[in-house]
Amino acid sequence: AQSVTQLDSHVSVSEGTPVLLRCNYSSSYSPSLFWYVQHPNKGLQLLLKYTSAATLVKGINGFEAEFKKSETSFHLTKPSAHMSDAAEYFCVVSDGYSSASKIIFGSGTRLSIRP
Amino acid sequence: DAGVIQSPRHEVTEMGQEVTLRCKPISGHDYLFWYRQTMMRGLELLIYFNNNVPIDDSGMPEDRFSAKMPNASFSTLKIQPSEPRDSAVYFCASSSRPGQAGNEQFFGPGTRLTVL
């Protein structure tokens, strides 16, 4: 069975400091992993995805994530936070098979940026 | 492409009324998803279609909810009768072979439903 756990429901950082949003997953197969961002009153937008190619994945807006199989983690990072990064972030796991029902969303992490 | 289109963006209705939410997926996508998002329950998958056929509706809360996809470019989610606890943001998403080879879902802007 698949699962995904976002370890922090809320993260607050100062502008210009690094961002770390943590995500752990469980999957019986080689997973595909995604990070989505949702700005206030908007839909979800894909930040980046891992699909068994390079373990370090670069996404939009300076975000990146590293797939660590030994730690079953896919943490999202950014070297320097910007005010516009304030949003909700969702980690998503899929087992890579055809059943769309096996796409699991995490509970989300709300990122706040302090001036 | 204009992306996934949802209408209306906001809906305010009174308890007991019928509500119909609409979605136009991205052209060429053969999967369509309906989600509901609330503060209490987060993002929930309600139902999804493949090639206009409902595949899994196990997330539909109860018989008051129904969804249809009469053709590849249009889907509706209907609530009849609506109740205050149905108040939420409803998202539609579309995809081509989701989950495989990293094919992501594309989300619409959502419909914010308020049932008084």
Q: Is A45 helix (H, G, I), strand (E, B) or coil?
A: strand
Residue A58 tokens read as 């670069």
- Tell me, yes or no, if A27 comes closer than 8 A to chain B by beta carbon: no
Which candidate in B43, B49, B103, B106 is best for mutational testing of the A interface (most A CBs within 10 A)? B43
Query: Looking at residue B40, what is its pLDDT?
Result: 87
More confident residue, B102 or A3: A3
Closest residue in chain A to residue B92, using alpha carbons only: A43
Cβ pair B111, B90 in contact under 8 A = yes
**Nearest CA of chain A to the CA of B1: how many Å?**
15
CA-to-CA separations, B90 to A70, A111, B9, B78, in angstroms, rounded: 36, 22, 10, 11
Q: What integer pLDDT is reported at residue A74 of this predicted model?
A: 96
Residue A32 contacts B, CB cutoff 8 Å: yes
Chain B nearest-CA distance from A79, in A, is 25
Provide the residue ranges of all domains of chain A, joining segments of one domain with +: 3-96+105-114
Q: How many CB atoms lie within 10 A of CB B111?
A: 21
Residue A97, pLDDT score: 55
Residue A75 CA to residue A3 CA, distance in Å, equals: 15
As assigned by CATH, the class of the A3-96+105-114 domain is mainly beta
Note the pLDDT of residue B1. Answer: 66
pLDDT value at residue A17: 97
Share of chain B above pLDDT 70, in %: 94
> What is the per-residue pLDDT across A81-114, written as a single tens digit (0 to 9) for each?
999 999 999 999 887 555 555 688 899 999 999 9
Q: For residue range A53-76, list pLDDT tens digits in order.
A: 788 999 999 999 999 999 999 999
pLDDT tens across B57-91, in order? 988 988 999 999 999 999 999 999 999 999 999 99
What are the chain B neighbours of A49 within 8 Å (beta carbons)? 102, 104
> Which token pair is B104?
């992501």
User: Least CA distance to A109: which residue of chain B?
Assistant: B42
* pLDDT confidence of residue B23: 98
User: Which residues of B are less than 8 Å from A101 in CB distance?
Assistant: 45, 48, 55-56, 58
Chain B residue numbers touching A45 (CB-CB < 8 A): 107
Nearest to A25 by CA among A107, A112, A110: A107
d(C-alpha B21, C-alpha B19), whole Å: 7
Question: B49 pLDDT band (50/70/90 cuts)?
Answer: very high
Does B105 sit within 8 Å of A103, measured CB to CB? yes
| Minimal C-alpha gap between B99 and chain A (Å) | 5
Q: Which residues pair with A104 in a beta bridge?
A: A93
Nearest by Cα to A53 from A62, A63, A65, A61:
A65
